[in-house]
Amino acid sequence: MRLPARRSRATLFATTLVATAVITACGGGSDTPVTPAPVVEATPASLTLEKIGAYSTGQFEVSAAEIPAYDAASRRLFVVNAQLGAVDVLNLADPANPVKIGTLDATAVLAGAEINSVAVFNGTVAVAIQAPVKTDNGRMALYRASDLSLISSVEIGAQPDMITFTPDGTRVLVANEGEPSDNYQTDPEGSISIIDVRNLAAPVVRNAGFTSFNGQAAALRAAGVRIYGPGATVAQDLEPEYIAVSADGTTAWVTLQENNALAKVDIASATVTNVLPLGYKDYGLAGNEIDASDRDNAIIIKTWPGVHGMYLPDSMVSYSAGGQTYLVTANEGDARAWGEDNPDYLGTQNPALGFIEELRVSALTRAAGWQTVPPQLRTVATPPVAGALLDPAVFGYCGATGIGPGTCNAAAELGRLNISWVQGYKTDAMGAPLRFSATTGLEDPAGDRLMYDKLYSYGARSFSIWDGNGTLVWDSGAAIEQFLAGPDCRLGKDRTIPCATYFNSGHNEGDALDSRSDAKGPEPEGLAVGKIGNKTFAFIGLERMGGVLVYDITNPAAPTRVDYLNTRDEWVTDPPNLATVGDLGPEGLVFIPAAQSPNGKPLLVVGNEVSGTTAVLQLNLTY
């Protein structure tokens, strides 16, 4: 005899409430039907993550498991497999043993294409399809989750990235990133496709673009929006990455990652109503400390005056608290680096072959000259400049003088830190770069040096909560790195390995203590939010260090850390042993509430792009 599935305490509590309501109604002596009270989910005191199942593609470091989505009716997972350019379809009826049962192949819609993202609503699967030439327009396709049949497809913007449904399922929204070609000579406009799917067989597309902002470049830059692509208009330079939608389905917010900004979109009119700069994180302030070097052989988390973090968020989700909409961002960071695989770009200093904005502080400030820095940096001023200085009034604490960087560019100081050269140098009131003498360190129109009084690094090593107008409500500050360096953090499925032993390691490396400190640290990237009872939890995937952090964000102004699970057990072999290592490189996450879960308990599904694994985590609740 088959026993009924064991139900969670939350499910039992909810069932009891409904049963009580029915009994009360029946005992009233009236023949009038009484509607049962709505099911109320119990609110947990806390939770812990437990890995209960996984599916492995057997493919390492080829992005074989990225973005997951779940259909409750068919109990199927849809996971973007970039290695195949398709979506793997997994049966999740037994969460402990996901089984691949099919594939959604984009080439049937557009020859040579690949799928970047997937979303599900009530049995309908939507996918974002990138054209074989990424600067060409892509497509959005709809499938039936039950039998994987193609329903319809429509043309949308260039390089469609993240895709999502509005809460009522009537529209599909797609962030069309519109990245440039590798030589930066073709740069499509970024846009957000808003697709009416009330008739699944005949979707209707409208595109919200940025051409109305083309005349506002100077004002946007002054406000803090990063617009800096060579020769690009505002519409070409803004690159939509990720979308969050308000609960009422009227407003969308879109991360413009490389631009360090959000776009606010009116869905009904398909109009971008505002571009909201996110500002910068001051690493010189207590509470914002970072470890800035991968060559000091130590965990040194401290303040760095003059150094600022660009939030540059990747994923973003919305949630409601106190009647207001809040936005949660994972502040990954991302540099524009095009043409880096073409040796002639730097070798011949040909700016028509690419554009690289990322540079180490040591390369920016080296005294030997700039023979191999990006050509656009050398020509940022006319005539070309020949080097950069650090303002001693700001960076004197690490030895900068008017004529040299001192020990600031040492490997154990700021020298290894990756920063963007496109901003931070001193300018006049009109924004033109000022020149300085390499001999005196003083401002000199005849000088051949730039002087930086700010250094901007990638990402904020944090997650943040913003209000609907892009105002920062809360940021995790230095908390993630400090936790990973502290005694309470443990790694492995049994949680026995001290995190500090492999602090800021890379997801594709073996024993690599501190190897990511010069870049973006633990690199928060993937994000999901789930509500259980009256509490809202955020789940943050750390791309480089690995694992998932859990925070209670019920109060947007005062989140608290709840748990951290990193199932990586093997930290020595380089490259890691795929058969034994665990999950590497969490990319996309999806929360499955208990009411929709195959086993009656809330689940979190994580796509791990480096290990090519899809992990099923169970949320074990305590009351």
- What domains lie within the chain, and their CATH numbers? 1-42 (no CATH), 46-278+313-334+459-622 (2.130.10.10), 343-457 (no CATH)
Q: What is the band of 371 on the pLDDT scale with cuts at 50, 70, 90?
A: confident
Please name the residues in contact with 12: beta carbons below 8 A apart, sequence gap of 6 or more: none
Q: Point out which residues pair with 17 in neighbouring strands.
A: none
Question: b/e string for 413-433 if b means 16 or more Cβ within 10 A?
Answer: bbbbbbbbbbbbbbeeeeeee
Report which of 248, 243, 247, 310 is spatially closest to residue 272, judged by C-alpha positions: 243
615/566 Cα distance (integer angstroms)? 11
Q: What is the band of 124 on the pLDDT scale with cuts at 50, 70, 90?
A: very high
pLDDT digit string (tens) for 575-595? Answer: 888 778 899 999 999 999 999
Residue entry with tokens 């993550």: 49
pLDDT score, position 34: 53
605/65 Cα distance (integer angstroms)? 11
**Which DSSP string corresponds to 5-46?**
PP--HHHHHHHHHHHHHHHHHHTTS--S--PPPPP-PPPPSE
202 contacts 212 by C-beta, under 8 angstroms: no
Q: Which residue type, as a one-letter code, is found at position 106?
A: A
Average model confidence (pLDDT) across the chain: 93
- Averaged pLDDT, 8-14: 35
- Averaged pLDDT, 434-446: 96
Q: Give 132's Cβ-side CA count (13 Å radius).
A: 6
**Which DSSP string corresponds to 375-396?**
HHHHTSSSSPP--EEE-HHHHG
Please name the residues in contact with 522: beta carbons below 8 A apart, sequence gap of 6 or more: 461, 480, 481, 484, 504, 516, 542, 543, 544, 545
435/390 Cα distance (integer angstroms)? 13
Q: Which residue type, as a one-letter code, is found at position 284?
A: G
- Averaged pLDDT, 607-612: 96
pLDDT score, position 28: 37
591/39 Cα distance (integer angstroms)? 20
- Angle, alpha carbons 567-568-574 (nearest 5°): 170
- Angle, alpha carbons 456-538-502 (nearest 5°): 60
Residue 4 has pLDDT above 80, yes or no: no
If phi > 0 it is left, if psi is from -120 to 50 it is alpha, else beta; for residue 425 that is beta
> What percentage of the chain carries pLDDT values higher than 70?
94
90/465 Cα distance (integer angstroms)? 33
pLDDT score, position 427: 97
Q: Point out which residues pair with 86 in neighbouring strands.
A: 81, 105
What is the pTM for the complete model shown? 0.93
- Averaged pLDDT, 6-29: 34
Q: Which element (helix H / strand E) includes 48?
A: strand 46-56
pLDDT digit string (tens) for 298-314? Answer: 999 999 999 999 999 99
Residue entry with tokens 């506002």: 216
55/294 Cα distance (integer angstroms)? 33
512/594 Cα distance (integer angstroms)? 38
pLDDT score, position 164: 98
pLDDT digit string (tens) for 176-188? Answer: 999 999 999 999 9
Report which of 543, 611, 79 is spatially closest to residue 331, judged by C-alpha positions: 543
DSSP state of 461: S
542/523 Cα distance (integer angstroms)? 5
280 contacts 309 by C-beta, under 8 angstroms: yes
Residue entry with tokens 């930290």: 571
Please name the residues in contact with 89: beta carbons below 8 A apart, sequence gap of 6 or more: 76, 77, 78, 79, 100, 101, 102, 103, 104, 148
376/433 Cα distance (integer angstroms)? 13
384 contacts 445 by C-beta, under 8 angstroms: no
**Tokens matching residue 419:** 């920063």
pLDDT score, position 407: 96
274/276 Cα distance (integer angstroms)? 6
- Angle, alpha carbons 150-154-155 (nearest 5°): 140
- Averaged pLDDT, 98-125: 96
pLDDT score, position 37: 58
Q: Which residue type, as a one-letter code, is found at position 515?
A: S
Q: Which element (helix H / strand E) includes 540?
A: strand 535-542
Q: Which element (helix H / strand E) includes 418?
A: strand 418-420
Residue 173 has pLDDT above 80, yes or no: yes
pLDDT digit string (tens) for 198-238? Answer: 999 999 999 999 999 999 999 999 999 999 999 999 999 99
Q: What is the band of 39 on the pLDDT scale with cuts at 50, 70, 90?
A: low
> What percentage of the chain carries pLDDT values higher than 90?
88
Report which of 140, 102, 100, 132 is spatially closest to residue 114, judged by C-alpha positions: 132
Residue 12 has pLDDT above 80, yes or no: no
Q: What is the band of 35 on the pLDDT scale with cuts at 50, 70, 90?
A: low
Rg (CA), the chain: 25
Assign 180 to helix, strand or coil.
coil
Assign 222 to helix, strand or coil.
helix
Handedness of CA 559, 561, 562, 566 (dihedral sign): positive
Q: What is the band of 414 on the pLDDT scale with cuts at 50, 70, 90?
A: very high
Q: How many CB atoms lie within 10 A of CB 199?
A: 9
pLDDT digit string (tens) for 495-550? Answer: 999 999 999 999 988 888 999 999 999 999 999 999 999 999 999 999 999 999 99
Q: What is the band of 109 on the pLDDT scale with cuts at 50, 70, 90?
A: very high
Give the β-pairing of 261-266 and 251-256.
Answer: antiparallel
- Averaged pLDDT, 441-456: 96
As a residue count, the chain comes to 623
pLDDT score, position 14: 37
54/616 Cα distance (integer angstroms)? 6
Q: Point out which residues pair with 54 in neighbouring strands.
A: 615
Lowest mean pLDDT among 35-49, 273-287, 443-457: 35-49
Please name the residues in contact with 290: beta carbons below 8 A apart, sequence gap of 6 or more: 283, 301, 302, 304, 307, 309, 461, 478, 481, 517, 521
- φ, ψ for residue 250 (rounded to 5)? -95, -25
56/40 Cα distance (integer angstroms)? 36
Residue 5 has pLDDT above 60, yes or no: no
341/353 Cα distance (integer angstroms)? 10
